[in-house]
Amino acid sequence: MALRIIREMGDPVLNKPCKEVTEMTPRIRELIEDMIDTMYEANGVGLAAPQVGVLKRIVVIDCTGEDLYVLINPKIVETSGEQKGQEGCLSVPGKSGEVTRPNYVKAVALDINMKPIEVEGTELLARAICHELDHLEGHLYVEKVEGPLLDVKYDEEEEVE
């Protein structure tokens, strides 16, 4: 398991648009595996490559602990409805704020084998897809927060491996 350092707000890498992935290489495969490890270690539901300092269009998402999505060059092709809810980000530790997102999202992407896939989600998964794809454009959710950015108290639970 290889963990990467999560970049935090203020790091310019988080404000830059990412480049498309044109071919799978051992280095990109390793990046994706490290992103997955880093996301789970941080108890996140998603992580985008710029959050570990790499400007490539790759995100990993797992909202349930059982449904891991690796999305390469993802694009949202359909949205509907609306949801308001608290959102947080591993790059903005200790904070959350209310963000309005579509309640349903359909995205197309490539998987880790560069095969086309389609992902549909509602509620948290729809929110996570929107949030992670914003990272690929250099945007953080704090730009979309309605009202105050709140402090979050984390449970100081010991991690059991």
Say if residue 33 is exposed, middle or buried (CB neighbours under 10 Å; 0-12, 13-18, 19+). middle
Taking contact as CB under 5 A, which single stretch among the options 5-13, 60-68, 84-92, 142-150 is the one that binds Zn ion?
Answer: 84-92
| CA separation for the pair 74, 132 (Å, rounded) | 10
Task: Give the x/- contact pattern for Zn ion in 43-82, rule: CB under 5 A.
Answer: ----------------------------------------
89 binds Zn ion (CB under 5 A): yes
Taking contact as CB under 5 A, which single stretch among the options 16-24, 31-39, 58-66, 85-93 is the one that binds Zn ion?
Answer: 85-93
- Residue 156 is a catalytic residue: no
* 8, 41, 123, 132: the active-site residue: 132
40 φ/ψ angles, rounded to the nearest 5 degrees: -65, -40
Amino acid at 51: Q
139 φ/ψ angles, rounded to the nearest 5 degrees: -110, 145
**CB atoms inside a 10 Å sphere around CB 43:** 12
Question: How many chain residues are in contact with Zn ion, going by CB under 5 A?
Answer: 1
Catalogue the active-site residues: 132
Q: Which parts of this chain interact with Zn ion (CB under 5 A)?
A: 89
